[in-house]
Structure 1
């Protein structure tokens, strides 16, 4: 677990999709005293056109659907109603994430989101633009299967999950150094968001892919004073194909 961030929050819901008890036995005994008060909230963008059509988007830059806009507005209003406060909102450069971040900022009367390229989604390589149903056909055994999703691992040009874990580690170190006592909202993507979560709590990425759900416009809080199983702040109804 990344040391440095102690924060108590009123959170609703948990990860009902996961076998949390078996996976997340996070010990807080390694925290020595009270460290920096960096609070990291992590949101995924609302549904975009590719999500709705079952297409692997990666770095493709398509906008939110009407459903996605409604999801972004829903999480924005939940944030407002809960009284959550952010010093800064930082977004992936892709439109679907920035639109989501912008809606959250506007509803909550906050400054326009900053863009950080490091928050971009995983590069899907040759799988970019392919339909989900083509993963097994194209990738063969180079996949990781869960009950709900078949993840491709290392097709040509794609970032691997270990590479995403390294990117997440660099991102967390950057935030710790540059925003030591801030409340930050990061707006990012499904695969990379899961790896930020895995890196923060020092979890095996395969276990996170298998057991953890991070849906469109859902909000997480990464905090060392609570177990990884309590990360969900808000869950949103999903509508993807």
Structure 2
């Protein structure tokens, strides 16, 4: 029997190669470190309640983090939702073979613009597009029949999804101004989002 609320388990991927300031080639293909894989195992070990659905981002590090939970509950359906991928606000061509520390000036320049419609270049998305993805996932979650849904995704996307849930009618400029001050979920961190049924 369903309760009045569904519980969405929001989980950030474990430590990735990019998190430890190693060069990366493709935003989507960054793997976990050895510690990240251990974090994923510990996360799965903490989750004693069986989810009804396991959702993963299309990015490798999120899928690798989900592996231990999928192995723990092999009969639970799994789905890849590309819309839960991390925010690609810098052009991938500019970031290829760079470290996180190399990108600090580019990151600072992007957020100082405070322009929700700005695109950094080919393959990049605007903040407004990013918010649209989060709203789409929020609506999808409201429509799903499952009571307990586990999502393996990324820090910025999960923050945006939570912000959309709490402030559904905020303007993009307001949301972007608030975004950088939101606390970051740690690697392999977990937060529960309660959503009502039937809305």
Whether TM-score is above 0.5 comes out as: yes
Distance 1:87 1:211, change over 3 A: same
Aligned length: 181
**Alignment-derived partner of residue 190 in structure 2:** 219
Range 41-50 or range 207-216, more displaced: 207-216
**Alignment-derived partner of residue 86 in structure 2:** 121
- Superposition deviation, residue 187 in structure 1: 0.7
RMSD of aligned Cα (Å) = 2.9
Range 195-204 or range 210-219, more displaced: 195-204
**Alignment-derived partner of residue 72 in structure 1:** 40
Query: Which runs of structure 1 show a deviation greater than 4 angstroms over 4 or more consecutive aligned residues?
Result: 54-58
- Superposition deviation, residue 136 in structure 1: 4.8
Superposition pairs of residues 1-241 of structure 1, within 5 angstroms: 34=4, 37-53=5-21, 59-80=27-48, 84-108=49-73, 110-111=75-76, 113-123=78-88, 124-126=90-92, 127-129=94-96, 130-138=98-106, 141-144=109-112, 154-157=119-122, 158-177=124-143, 179-202=144-167, 204-223=175-194
Distance in structure 2 (CA, Å) of the matches to 1:187 and 1:197 = 14
Task: State whether residues 21 and 100 of structure 2, in contact with CA within 8 Å, keep that contact through their aligned partners in structure 1.
Answer: no
Distance 1:70 1:77, change over 3 A: same
Which structure features the higher share of helix residues? 2
- Superposition deviation, residue 138 in structure 1: 4.0
Distance in structure 2 (CA, Å) of the matches to 1:141 and 1:52 = 22
Structure 2 runs not aligned, ≥5 long: none
- Superposition deviation, residue 159 in structure 1: 1.8
Distance in structure 2 (CA, Å) of the matches to 1:144 and 1:217 = 29
Structure 1 runs not aligned, ≥5 long: 1-5, 8-33, 146-152, 226-241
